[in-house]
Chain A
């Protein structure tokens, strides 16, 4: 069975550029989560969706970050404009049900902002 699929796997870009990360959740899962992982802060939840609706975006660092889920099989996380401190690994996860169900993670996008 296909797991959570993220693209690209790696992204290197210059500061100020727009970055778009993509995620396809596991088919049938109705909750989707975006996380950021850094050495300093570990795994941080940025935003999560339930049935395509954003439920809690309190983890989004600032207005430069935005996320959408136009349908049940696709979500994007956008950073505009990007800054070097945004460099991290960004994970997407999905679950069947709400926050209390185990989350299945994709392999992440390693983002480097120069």
Chain B
């Protein structure tokens, strides 16, 4: 089955810094999604991408669908303490019954 790779497992940054997270796949995906999970809560959708090369922003967050369709990245600019959490990428191959595959997530810590 498809696998998504997110690394490193944890990232530590200083408040105000920008951070970039990458997600890679061995398969070609038609859809890339980025979710954030806060402790004790479910994942919340941040950005959805549907076309190769697509660049989409949501406030301080920007995500891109890689040209090869095998990767995506998420950038967070000017980080703030509430950016702390686990960031998951998720991808879906073509097909009406294709399941969403999730990466293992990256835990982001922001030092004030």
- List residues of A whose CB falls within 8 A of some B CB: 4, 42-43, 45, 48, 55-56, 59, 91, 93, 98-100, 102-108
Contact = CB atoms under 8 A, between A and B. Distances in A.
Interface residue SS majority, chain B: loop
B100 A99 contact: yes
A32 to B, nearest CB: 13
Nearest to B47: A102
B43 A105 contact: yes
Contact of B100 (A4, A42, A45, A107): A45
A108 B100 CA distance: 18
A105 B43 CA distance: 6
Given A42-B103, A43-B88, A100-B92, A56 B42 contact: no
B97 interface: yes
A105 B42 contact: yes
B33 interface: yes
Given A43-B102, A105-B43, A98 B96 contact: yes
A103 B92 CA distance: 12
A59 B40 CA distance: 24
B31 interface: yes
B41 A107 contact: yes
Interface in B37-54: 40-45, 48
Contacts of B45: 102-104
Interface in B16-48: 30-31, 33, 35, 40-45, 48
B98 interface: yes
28 contacts: A4-B42, A42-B103, A42-B104, A42-B105, A43-B43, A43-B102, A45-B100, A48-B99, A56-B99, A91-B42, A98-B96, A99-B97, A99-B98, A99-B99, A99-B100, A100-B30, A100-B31, A100-B98, A102-B33, A102-B48, A103-B45, A103-B100, A104-B45, A105-B44, A107-B40, A107-B41, A108-B41, A108-B42
What 7 A-B pairs are tightest by C-beta distance, nearest first?
A105-B42, A43-B102, A42-B104, A105-B43, A107-B42, A102-B45, A107-B41
Interface in B72-112: 88, 92, 96-100, 102-105
